[in-house]
Amino acid sequence: MRDHEQIGKVIGVNSDLVTVEMAEPVMQNEMAYIVSGEYRLKSEVIKIQGSLVEVQVYEDTRGIRVGDKVIFTGELLSAELGPGLLGQVFDGLQNPLPKVAERFGFFIPRGTSLDALDRKRKWGFVPSAREGDTLSAGHFLGHVQEGVFTHYILVPFHLRGQYRVRTIADEGDYAVEDTVAQIETREGVSLDLTLMFHWPIKIPIRAYRERLRPSDTLITGIRIIDTFFPIAKGGTYCIPGPFGAGKTVLQHITARHAEIDLVIIAACGERAGEIVEVLREFPKIEDPRTGRSLMERTVIICNTSSMPVAARESSVYTAITIAEYYRQMGLDVLLLADSTSRWAQAMREISGRLEEIPGEEAYPAYLESRIASFYERAGAVVLSNGKTGSVTIGGTVSPAGGTFEEPVTQGTLKVVGAFHGLSRRRANARRFPSIDPHESWSNYPGIISPERLRTAREFLSKGREVEQMMKVVGEEGTSLDDYIDYLKAELLDHVYLQQNAFDRIDGVTSKERQDHVFGFLIHILSSSFTFPDKDVALRFFQSLRQLFIDWNYCEWDSRGFRETEAQLRDFLEGAKGDEKGLHPNT
Ligand code: ADP
Ligand code: MG
């Protein structure tokens, strides 16, 4: 970073792309302000060609004229990091949207930006560093209480090398810009540290000791995920699915029940309506742990297609930067991006305007590498104090036309560790969550042994085969044994893969319960039954399904749970005991 501003002059305007002539060199992605009349319009360097610099303006470019002055700040687009981020809703440039709405209505006026962090609010700072301590980037100076979290005040990440603490503030109330520590280099250069600092959003935060291979299963409470296609803490996964397939609902359920500390939502909407929905719905989501609003441990970064393209492009970076910041405190953070297709479209628009050579479907040739470097910012890490933290990233993709054979889905598939493909057919049949059990996969270790999983998978494939066959030859043309296999697969689907997101108990299944229930299902799948005909078989499996679903609605390990399980076992034994077939009296 440069420590001084530089001045250039507008020589051309093409929509939100402005060409500036510069005498001095500037940096890629450096922030600049175009001075247009009374406005200072925020923009970013996106291309440098000799003395000509293309800047992308974050706002409406009306009124910009050739000859206007441009101030290059020498700084990259950065996020404000400090206490007070939780519970907030920001746009891609970290303007707090509720404040924008309060002051200006839905849209922020040109040339305006608001502080992301409240400058007046006081935080009770408790120092932990002492005078004379040697510290470096990411070390703790002390903490404040942010809601239910201990928010550690960190040595800013951009500081290189070691510093000696000269003074540290006493315990007391401080605003984010108040100095709480003075540190100095070996050479005696001294720096004032406050509760907040900045970090450039496109650069990963790496103030940790080491990265770990993601191996701990992140329990989401969603059976088809945890059992079949698990996610790991610090891992990555992608949810592609056509419009209306259930991507957003699935992410909201995950946000609510996953065993993580914080949720960062990057809501990149198609229409303003989708975002209004998020803003209206999200605060209503109850945190099952506290009974209060889930917003207390959430940050939302949102944008709509009516916002300037550069702001849309930057929102996923603002989101990941905030996620990485909290990881540095030893927290497990889940970043959910919905939908990354909108982000890719913003990249496509910018690239088109720069007249770059387009790749597939007019996306820029660097689309895949941008997607990869975004997901690579996920990870489980060991901090310098030995604590661990993680950022898990789950991104939805909404391919036009619903096919997964398109650049954003394919580019994402190459880098993520798990793939939860949503199926239009399952959504139409209201089989939720509509994760396709045949298309999806995961490379992460789950909670169920591979052998038991294999049995379940075999039944699912067999069931699908029989179903396809039945479509051709009809039920009459299908053998009784094949039909029973089909019924077994349907049972597995209805009582295990499908889950009622709106039920307090069925909506979230603990690891222990999944293990127990899945074991029982495997027992059913592996049992052989003799039925006199298909009708009897069908009725038996229908009753079994109903009983099983009742079981799913019983509180784990309650009396009702144990009684229903006993009933299920009796029902099953009755069926197997009758050599000639069975006639369950239901
Ligand atoms: P997408 O984000 O893929 O466009 P949504 O998540 O908005 O789709 O889901 C569309 C609709 O499908 C929802 O409004 C809801 O009616 C239904 N739906 C999605 N997921 C579930 C679920 N798990 N349980 C019940 N209904 C669901
Ligand atoms: Mg959606």
pLDDT digits (tens, 9 = 90+) for 107-154: 677 777 889 999 999 999 999 999 999 999 999 999 999 999 999 999
Residue 322 has pLDDT above 70, yes or no: yes
Residue 546 has pLDDT above 50, yes or no: yes
Helix orientation angle between 340-353 and 309-327, rounded to the nearest 10 degrees = 130
Question: How many angstroms is it from 427 CA to the middle of ligand 1?
Answer: 8
- Report residue 388: phi and psi, to 5°: -115, 155
The confidence band for 38, taking pLDDT boundaries of 50, 70 and 90, is confident
Question: How many angstroms is it from 343 CA to the middle of ligand 2?
Answer: 14
pLDDT digits (tens, 9 = 90+) for 384-409: 999 999 999 999 999 987 789 999 99
The confidence band for 306, taking pLDDT boundaries of 50, 70 and 90, is confident
Question: Nearest bound ligand to CA 267?
Answer: 2
In this structure, are strands 210-212 and 52-57 parallel, antiparallel, or unpaired? unpaired
Q: Given the structure tokens 């369950």, which residue do they identify?
A: 584
Nearest CA to ligand 1 atom 18: 246
Between 14 and 368, name the one with better pLDDT.
Answer: 368
Whether 83 contacts 195, CB under 8 Å:
yes
Question: How many angstroms is it from 345 CA to the middle of ligand 2?
Answer: 16
Tokens representing residue 149 in the block: 């979290």
Average pLDDT over residues 367-381: 98
Angstrom distance (rounded) from CA 166 to CA 178: 16
Q: Given the structure tokens 């700084």, which residue do they identify?
A: 75
At residue 1, the pLDDT reads 65
Longest CA–CA span in the chain (Å) reads: 94
For a mutational test of ligand 1's pocket, the pick from 220, 222, 223, 249, i.e. the residue with the most ligand atoms closer than 8 A to its C-beta, is: 249
Whether 293 contacts 148, CB under 8 Å:
no
Average pLDDT over residues 20-32: 92
Average pLDDT over residues 39-65: 90
pLDDT digits (tens, 9 = 90+) for 238-280: 999 999 999 999 999 999 999 999 999 999 986 777 777 777 8
Angstrom distance (rounded) from CA 263 to CA 256: 9
pLDDT digits (tens, 9 = 90+) for 324-358: 999 999 999 999 999 999 999 999 999 998 889 99
Name which of 50, 51, 43, 39 is nearest 13 in CA terms: 43
Nearest CA to ligand 1 atom 10: 244
Tokens representing residue 284 in the block: 């209503």
User: Which atom of ligand 1 is nearest to 241's Cα?
Assistant: 3
The confidence band for 585, taking pLDDT boundaries of 50, 70 and 90, is very low
Angstrom distance (rounded) from CA 321 to CA 408: 22
Average pLDDT over residues 52-58: 92
**Other CB atoms closer than 10 Å to residue 445's CB: what's the count?**
13
> Where is mean pLDDT largest: 94-103, 221-230, 281-290?
221-230
Name which of 366, 415, 376 is nearest 46 in CA terms: 366
Within 13 Å of residue 482, how many CA atoms lie on the same side as its CB? 14
Angstrom distance (rounded) from CA 307 to CA 317: 16
Nearest-10 Cα torsion for 432, 437, 439, 442: 110
Report the pocket of ligand 1 as residue ranges, CB < 6 Å: 241, 243-249, 432-433, 501
pLDDT digits (tens, 9 = 90+) for 442-475: 999 999 999 999 999 999 999 999 999 999 999 8
User: Which atom of ligand 1 is nearest to 500's Cα?
Assistant: 24
Nearest CA to ligand 1 atom 22: 432
Q: Coil, strand, or helix at residue 337?
A: strand
In this structure, are strands 332-338 and 388-397 parallel, antiparallel, or unpaired? parallel
Question: How many angstroms is it from 432 CA to the middle of ligand 1?
Answer: 8
Residue 485 has pLDDT above 50, yes or no: yes
Angstrom distance (rounded) from CA 55 to CA 333: 33
Whether 423 contacts 436, CB under 8 Å:
yes
**CA distances for 463 relative to 111, 156, 494, angstroms:** 60, 56, 13
Angle, alpha carbons 203-208-212 (nearest 5°): 100
At residue 289, the pLDDT reads 86
Question: How many angstroms is it from 246 CA to the middle of ligand 1?
Answer: 4
Tokens representing residue 313 in the block: 């492009």
The confidence band for 61, taking pLDDT boundaries of 50, 70 and 90, is confident
